Amino acid sequence: MALIPPYLRELQVEIQGYADGYGLSYFPQVFELVDYRQMCEIASYGGFPVRYPHWRFGMEYDHMIKSHTYGLSKIYELVINTDPCYAYLLEGNSQVDQKLVMAHVYGHNDFFRNNHYFSRTDRRMIDVMANNAARVRRYMDRHGVNTVESFIDTCLSLDNLIDPWLSFRDARNQAPASTNAPDAVDDDRVRLQNERTYLEDYINPPEFVESQRQKQREKREQVKHRNPAQPERDVLGFLMQHAPLEAWEADVLGILRGEAYYFLPQMQTKIMNEGWASYWHSRIMTEKALRDDEVIDYADVVSGVFASAPGQLNPYKLGVELYRDIERRWDEGKFGPEWDRCDNLEQRTSWNKKLGLGKAKIFEVRRLYNDVTFIDEFFTMDFCREQKYFTFAENRRSGRLEIESREFQQIKQKLLGALTNFGQPFIYVVDSNYLNRGELLLGHRHEGSDLKLDYARDTLRNVERVWRRPVSILTQVDEKPKRIRFDGSEIGISDEPEAFKV
Amino acid sequence: MISRIDKDHSRFREIVRGKIRQNLRKYISRGDMMSRKGQDTVTIPMPQIDIPRFTLGGNQKQGVGQGEGEPGDPVGGGDPQQGQGAGKAGEGEGDKNLEVEVTLDELAAILGEELGLPRIEPRGTQSLDTKKDRYVSLRRTGPESLRSFKATFKRALRRQVASGTFVKDLPIIVPIREDRRYRSWRTDPRPQSNAVIIYMMDVSGSMGDEQKEIVRIESFWIDTWLRSQYQGLESRYIIHDATARVVDREVFFRTRESGGTMISSAYRVCSELIEKEFPPENWNIYAFHFSDGDNWSVDDTATCINLLRDTLLPACNQFGYGQVESPYGSGQFIKDIRAAFPSQPKLVTSEVTGKDDIMDSIREFLKGGR
């Protein structure tokens, strides 16, 4: 790795000047020039120079080097969320490519710094990762590579079981759990709303109210000794605290949990982040940085980046188009109740209040939104039609993928469905002393899609390895509530009376 | 210094090898590897190297796309998750149906480890002269590139001193044509042990397609394994029904024939081959014969036993007889030769009932490490 040569340094100064001009606010930016092997190495480590040893990185590397060697893909740029922000440039790229990458990187950098969901990430992650690596290596020296590695495998198998809102709820979490709240609050829940006092006895018969209260009390009594009191989404954190782990195991689990939380916002804002960076590289390049003789090369690269092959969703494309759409709409005043109410096509097409609020709006959006809220709010019917979105599904008879629908509601629902919790299932710790036998009970909040069963079984084995007692998960299979249990030797599936709900 | 990623990478390769070892039986009995050789790579699908997580299965492939088309039109491109257009790193992790490439030699090595085979020692003093060139002498003619400056200078100096043209105060040496010397080579014989494997296969009518397939796979793996043990290994292939002939590798692995069975014909061809081309004092000879054990007559079996006793066994390091179970064959032959040579270590017999036995049979043949 080397610092960049003078001509790139000049380029950086130039691009940084444009970024300042547009009002981007970023961490100090460091570029490094690497060859493609180093690039693949760093990329397989998720952008970091030092990670703990694990075969999975080797697998990624194998894959990347191969597809790079065969010309299937090329990693143009790599940027990580740290302060100062590091980005890697690929040696041998043409000057226009490097320019484009730099402009793109400044977009990412600005996003990392300003987006709310990144606000709780550790900006000194390079050091943290290096320390983690040193610790894991030390454990490997002491306990053996295989032992530690297989425990890492186990933990990785659970590293999607984290709570995206954990870092934002800590403060509120100090408040006493609602189970300790006084009776009066519950009382209101039992009673139906009634403004006519003379009907009180009919609407809320005293004996019924009393029996309901009794039920509530019993329930509370049940829940009182339950750990966790409320279903807990931070499964990893729960295991770290309550599973019978050795000190080094708890530490490794903690390391992996920390890294999982660090990478989380990047998954939450994939479309927004890439869209933002693309929006800015496109503006910086086309309005400022591009020279006449570079236009063709630039267009060639960019068309590749924004290419949306049928049957796949390109986050770069979707993101950049949404930002542009938002900017246009707020510039022309196409928002608010007045706009929503208007159903005259002619008026709508010629609508222009010349408000010029576009730029302020997109900066606000990049600060406050994540992918789900971004799509939910700004993926409008007009946008959907203009951009020709559709849903597709596999035709079971022919086995090929077919366009299913161009209905706006369906498309949006599917899009949001895929983005919610980054397409991961909602898994909770329900009870750590299930059946009073010290068994761990997990619950899968079913949102219309079943768990992949073979994977679920294997994952359950891994949970058992950490919990060291039988573990179960409540879920649904083909719309029937089921409980899958692993007792250390075999997997059993049994029916459940009720589906798990939160 | 070995970089970190190289360590992780080799760790990954180790895991892959471990996986291959676990499923070796399955890969070994795959017929399609037989078209490969030595350094050729074999692609092995490996579905289960992923880290399992709780994920949503989705009963159906589905998603959101962008572009032209009416509902019902096929969506091009197939897998919705693969690729990201040109340029950017493949962010969408498609089905991690990992395909691992290993060379055939590597696979053979894994087979060797798995079977616990000892390395086959080149036995005895059998040696064959191969040639190796070494530059040891000088001569008067040769290409300029091989001109020896030192020798040329000496010759010129000696000539000048002898002819009195050497001036002590002005020592200028000018070589003429006759002075020039060129380095020259001598060809040395170098001893090298050699091995030949002779495969014989029964292709008579009683051997069904499945039996032939088993024989081919087994001989393929023996071939691959032995090739990885010996440099410059020779192979000869003999097929026989009622008559035998030497064929090349391609034919051996592909032929379908039918007819009666005279095993002695193959043994006779084999001993002629050894006599003509591979004198036992120069060669390690390994012979393998595969059949369904259904010989034409008792007389012929007697001829076989004689041939084995008199010529083949003395000449060979090892003679392997593999009998494939066949619905038609009597399977008598293996009993006959076992009875004839009850304690002959050079003769190894093995019975194969199905594809799953191939590994065991290979182990039988090769465990002796002769």
In a shared domain, residues B111 and B241: no
Using CB atoms within 10 Å of the CB of residue B74, give its burial: 0 to 12 exposed, 13 to 18 middle, 19+ buried: middle
- Cβ atoms of A440 and A472 within 8 Å: the answer is yes
Whether residues B161 and B292 fall in one domain: no
pLDDT at B301: 85
The DSSP code sequence of A16-62 is HHHHHHTT-----EEEEEE-HHHHHHHHHTTT-S-----HHHHHHHH
Question: Tens digit of pLDDT for each residue in A340-393?
Answer: 888 888 888 888 888 889 999 999 999 999 999 999 999 999 999 888 888 888
Give the whole-angstrom CA distance, residue A6 versus residue A8.
5
Out of B190, B220, B238, a domain closes at: B190
% of residues, chain A, pLDDT over 90: 53
- Chain B window 48-67: which residues touch A at a Cβ cutoff of 8 Å? 49, 51-67
Residue B32: how many other CB atoms lie within 10 Å: 7
- B59, B75, B87 ranked by CB distance to A76: nearest: B87
Kindly report the backbone phi and psi dihedral angles of residue A465, in degrees, each rounded to the nearest multiple of 5, phi listed first: -60, -35
Give the model's confidence band at A19: pLDDT under 50 very low, under 70 low, under 90 confident, else very high.
very high
Within a domain: B91: no
Distance CA B336, CA B347 (A): 13
SS3 B362: helix
> Among A310-314, B124-128, B277-281, where is mean pLDDT lowest?
B124-128
Query: Are B235 and B348 found together in one domain?
Result: yes
Of all residues in chain B, the one with the smallest CA distance to A444 is: B54
Beta carbons of B38 and B226 less than 8 angstroms apart: no
Task: Decide if A502 touches B, using CB distance below 8 A.
Answer: no
Confidence of residue A257 (pLDDT cuts 50, 70, 90): very high
The angle subtended at Cα B333 by Cα B332 and Cα B339, nearest 5°, is 95
Q: Do A394 and B60 touch (CB under 8 A)?
A: yes
Distances in whole angstroms, Cα of residue A443 to Cα of each of A425, A461, A495, B50: 10, 16, 14, 23
Whether B89 maps to a domain, the answer reads no
Neighbours of A277 (CB within 10 A): 25
Strands (E), chain B: 41-46, 62-66, 98-103, 128-139, 182-192, 195-202, 234-240, 244-247, 284-291, 318-324, 347-352
Q: Which of B190, B207, B236 is the last residue of a domain?
A: B190
- Same domain for B184 and B204, yes or no, is no
Facing residue for B55 by CB, picked from A314, A404, A455:
A455
- Tell me: pLDDT of A186 over 50: yes
> What's residue A174's pLDDT?
47
Q: How many CA atoms lie within 13 A of B172 on its CB side?
A: 2
Query: Does the structure show a pLDDT above 80 at B226?
Result: no
Residue of A nearest to B66 (CA): A389
Instruction: Identify residue A89 by its one-letter amino acid code.
Output: L
Q: For position B81, what pLDDT does the model report?
A: 37
Query: What letter does residue B206 receive in the DSSP assignment?
Result: T
pLDDT digits (tens, 9 = 90+) for A463-477: 999 999 999 999 988
**Residue in the block written with tokens 């036992």:** B280
Token code pair at residue A410: 């369906």
Classify residue B154: in a domain, yes or no: yes
- Can you tell me the distance from the alpha carbon of B6 to that of A38, in angstroms, rounded to the nearest whole number? 11
**Which ranges of A307-357 would DSSP assign to H, the alpha helix?**
315-332, 336-341, 345-349
What is the three-class DSSP state of A3? strand
Q: In this predicted structure, what is the pLDDT of residue A175?
A: 44
Question: Under 8 Å CB-to-CB from A276, ≥6 apart: which residues?
Answer: A107, A108, A110, A111, A319, A323, A366
Q: According to the model, what pLDDT value does residue A277 have? A: 95
The domain tally of chain B equals: 3
Q: How much of chain B is helix, strand and coil, in % rounded to 5?
A: 40, 20, 40
Tell me the sheet residues that pair with A34: A90
Considering only the beta carbons, identify the residue of B55, B57, B89 that sits closest to A73: B89
Number of H helices and E strands in chain B, helices first, is: 11, 11
Residue A222: how many CB atoms within 10 A of its CB? 9
CB contact under 8 A, B87 and A156: no
CA angle A267, A273, A277 (to 5 degrees): 150
Q: Which H or E element spans position B77?
A: none
Residue B79: per-residue pLDDT: 41
In chain B, what residues touch A404 (CB-CB under 8 Å)?
Answer: 62, 71
Residue B261 · residue B244 · CB < 8 Å: no
Does residue B262 belong to any structural domain of this protein?
yes
Q: Residue A157: list chain B partners with CB under 8 A.
A: 51-53
Cβ-contact A313, B64 below 8 angstroms = yes
Tell whether B265 and B302 lie within a shared domain. Answer: yes
pLDDT band, residue A497 (cuts 50/70/90): confident
Which of B222, B268, B223 minimizes the C-alpha distance to B245?
B268
Q: What percent of chain A has pLDDT over 70?
A: 94
Helix then strand count (H, E) for chain A reads: 22, 11
Strand order from edge to edge, sheet including B347-352: B244-247, B234-240, B195-202, B284-291, B318-324, B347-352
- Count CB neighbours of A170 within 10 A: 10
Q: Which of B146, B169, B190 is the last residue of a domain?
A: B190
Instruction: Looking at the structure, tell me whether residues B140 and B112 fall in a common domain.
Output: no
> Residue B369's pLDDT band (boundaries 50, 70, 90)?
low
What pLDDT, in 10s, does the model give residues B55-92? 887 555 677 888 777 787 777 644 433 333 333 333 33
CB A439 within 8 A of CB A463: no
Q: Is 50 exceeded by the pLDDT of residue A177?
A: no
Query: Which of A220, A225, A224 has the alpha carbon at shortest distance from A190?
Result: A220
pLDDT score recorded for residue A328: 93
Q: List the CATH number of the domain containing B250.
A: 3.40.50.410
Token pair in block for residue A157? 């198998």
Contact B50, A459 (CB under 8 A): no
| In a shared domain, residues B206 and B336 | yes
As a three-state string, the secondary structure of A96-132 is HHHHHHHHHHHHHHHHHHHCHHHCCCCCCHHHHHHHH
A311-347 as b/e, with b when 16 or more CB fall inside 10 Å? bbbbbbbbbbbbbbbbbebbbbbbbeeeeeeeeeeee
Q: Which residue of B has its CA nearest to A158?
A: B53
- Given pLDDT bands bounded at 50, 70 and 90, which one contains residue A187? low
pLDDT of residue B85: 31
B11, B61, B88 member nearest A393 (Cβ): B61
Over residues A216-243, mean pLDDT: 84
Same domain assignment for residues B182 and B200: no
| Residue B28 clears pLDDT 80, i.e. is over it | no
pLDDT at position B31 is 64
For residue A397, what are its two tokens?
A: 């008879």
Spatial neighbors of B241 by CB under 8 A, at least 6 apart, are B202, B203, B204, B205, B257, B258, B259, B260, B261, B262
Task: For A369-391, give the DSSP string.
Answer: --HHHHHHHH--HHHHHHTTEEE
Question: In a mutagenesis test of the A interface, which of B1, B10, B14, B51 is the best target, namely the one with the most A β-carbons within 10 Å?
Answer: B51
β strands within A415-468, DSSP E? 426-434, 439-445
Q: Based on C-alpha coordinates, what's the Rg of chain B? A: 31
Q: Which of residues 70-99 of B touch A (CB under 8 A)?
A: 70-92, 98
Whether B249 and B143 share a structural domain: no
Residues of B in contact with A455 (CB under 8 A): 52-55, 57
Same domain, B265 and B362: yes
Q: For the ranges A188-202, A394-408, B136-150, which has the lowest average pLDDT?
A: A188-202
Q: Does residue A259 have a pLDDT over 50?
A: yes
From chain A residues 317-336, the ones with a CB under 8 A of any chain B CB are 317-318
Q: Which residues contact A16 (CB under 8 A, 6 or more apart)?
A: A29, A106
Give per-residue pLDDT as tens, B111-152: 777 776 666 555 554 444 556 778 888 888 888 888 999 999
**Is residue B177 assigned to a domain?**
yes
**Chain B contact set for A473 (CB, 8 A):** 54
Exposed/middle/buried for residue A268 (C-beta within 10 Å: 0-12, 13-18, 19+): buried
Whether the model clears a pTM of 0.80, i.e. scores above it, the answer is: no
Per-residue confidence (pLDDT) for residue A395, from 0 to 100: 79
| A176/A138: higher pLDDT | A138
At which residue do the structure tokens 């919990």 appear? A467
Work out the minimum CA distance from A256 to partner chain B, whole angstroms.
14
Can the peptide bond before residue A84 be classed as cis, meaning omega within 30 degrees of 0?
A: yes
- Interface probe for B, chosen from A42, A51, A55, A67 (most Cβ of B below 10 Å), is A55
Same domain for B200 and B284: yes
Q: Cβ separation of B89 and A308 shorter than 8 Å?
A: no
Residue B6, token pair as written in the block: 């190289």
Does some domain include residue B353?
yes
| Residue (of B182, B187, B188) closest to B138 by Cα position | B182
The candidate with the shortest Cα–Cα distance to A235, out of A401, A392, A420, A427, is A427
Digit-coded pLDDT (tens) for B204-221:
777 777 888 888 888 888
Alpha-carbon torsion (A461, A462, A467, A472), positive or negative = negative
How distant, in Å, are the alpha carbons of A41, A288, B341 from that of A36?
8, 29, 64
A19 vs A106: CA distance, rounded Å: 7
What is the arithmetic mean of pLDDT over A79-86? 93
Dihedral pair phi/psi, residue A75, rounded to 5° = -90, 115
Q: Which residues contact B36 (CB under 8 A, 6 or more apart)?
A: B42, B104
Between chains, do B66 and A414 touch, taking CB under 8 Å as contact? no
Q: Which helix (H) or strand (E) holds A357?
A: none
**Which range of residues forms the domain containing residue B362?**
193-366
Residue A285 has a pLDDT of 94
**pLDDT number for residue B221:** 81
Does an H or E element contain A9, and which? helix A6-21
Q: What is the pLDDT of residue A188?
A: 61
Indicate if the pLDDT at residue B235 is higher than 60. Answer: yes
DSSP letters for A252-273: HHHHHHHHHHHHHHHHHTHHHH
Mean pLDDT computed over A259-276: 93
Q: Which two tokens stand for residue A166?
A: 């954990």
From edge to edge, which strands make up the β-sheet containing A491-495? A426-434, A439-445, A471-477, A480-486, A491-495
Structure tokens at B355: 């594809």
Q: Quick check: A455 and B77 CB within 8 A?
A: no
Establish whether the linkage from the previous residue to A206 is cis, with ω within 30° of 0. Answer: no
B5 and B19 in a common domain: yes
| B231 domain residue, yes or no | yes
Does residue B63 sit within a domain? no
Between CA A290 and CA B253 the distance in angstroms is 62
